[in-house]
Structure 1
């Protein structure tokens, strides 16, 4: 089959999106909790989505990663509709917004702009996306690591898990937001700060105790005791080395603690708590990022509040980078 010329940005058709999601369903085990796929999976998916390319440039692993971020944000927007008290989601009519609900709908779109296409129609990918995304949380104020990316849900209107029948396809696929030539985003993710493990100062020994200590130290300790002390020291040293390794990674990525600024950090933390599309767990991770990296806080505060899709994608990338750093630490 003759491929079209490689010009401009890559273009996603509805068939491309379906093939892409089917591929991710087949490789869901590679994502683990949270449906966070590695770049190796996105690179492998390019062979599938480029097989019947009809227009635009070939899709790269980065383009597939960006498309997955868009699909996830769309999925979460629908979850937010389902969680809205007093609203009813159906697979053919979407949010079922009536004229008297219009003011409330417009206010809802300020926080969930990706919900706009589903005012009166469903989403063709919802059933398959449900197979890839984490299980639905039911009940208020519940957080589980395996469900962290789905968000918190309202007890009044738990998410509908009814299978999708006769779903009407959207007029057009989700808009393409990635640029083929876009450079890799600067890695600024930081781990959530860990509490200090500084041991407390032991009480001073009396002079008699010190004398007994000096006297006893002249006699070598039994071999078995010396072995136990050496092993404990080695374990403590290894633990310290691992902690230092994690700290060095954070410094290399974020630029070190010399860039700290309490005021900017506080402003970013306050703002991220208003992102109701994020779960509490993800908000906590972002809090850790801002505590350790003021550059990330500055970048977050600089994003235009009106550009919600870009802000969502930026936060998604930061969360994925933090998880990659944690995975790297587990290897040592």
Structure 2
């Protein structure tokens, strides 16, 4: 039966006994509101007694005298009751409806240490297991209390009688739960093995050079880096495979400078060769690249020929 159905039944009862002497009419909504208020007070006092009400630490509850406020803790009580108005009427008196409300309100365990199974089937098995164990414990207790039974009247021991399918499933579930808890405890207690540092890692750790943050490379930057790398490779190949050739004016100038040190030529011959080199780079290269022992012969041959490279 729901709270709404109970409120409707209470309202019908109040209609039968007549209007109240004090207060407004006891309608279904009024009864439901009153029930919520009483339940709120009951749950608050119950949590204080169970030491699980947040903010009520240091305030013990007495069924006859409430919180037993004294002049020494009156200031603290004013702050506490202001923060928790539900306790304001119970400074030095109890709540006479607590026992009656405890009979009507179910006891719901709260806190971090309350076991909550993962499925309804596990709850059913554990509940049935508890009933079986309680029955066995009661039988054992009766035996210890001095119940004199004959040999034929002794109940059959659970170990010697054939187990029912329900008991077998319960025992299997209990063993599985026990193994899971034991395995979890071992994993929590077992320390994580520490891998020995390799020589390479030790070398990296011993390096005092600070590590630089690697910047993110964009698309254009990547293309530019590739082009620069290609250009560097091309330049290296040119230096390795190709020969460096001076420009023509430089080669002609070098040939003219060699004429200054050639003492086998007259001044007129040097002037003629200089004029030839200024307009004929091939003639200048022939004279410049000739070895010392044949350079004079090359010069004489160039003088005999009338501009042979044109």
TM-score, with length taken from structure 1? 0.29
Structure with more contact order per residue of length (Cα contacts < 8 Å, sep ≥ 6): 1
Higher helix share: 2
Structure with larger Rg: 2
TM-score, with length taken from structure 2? 0.31
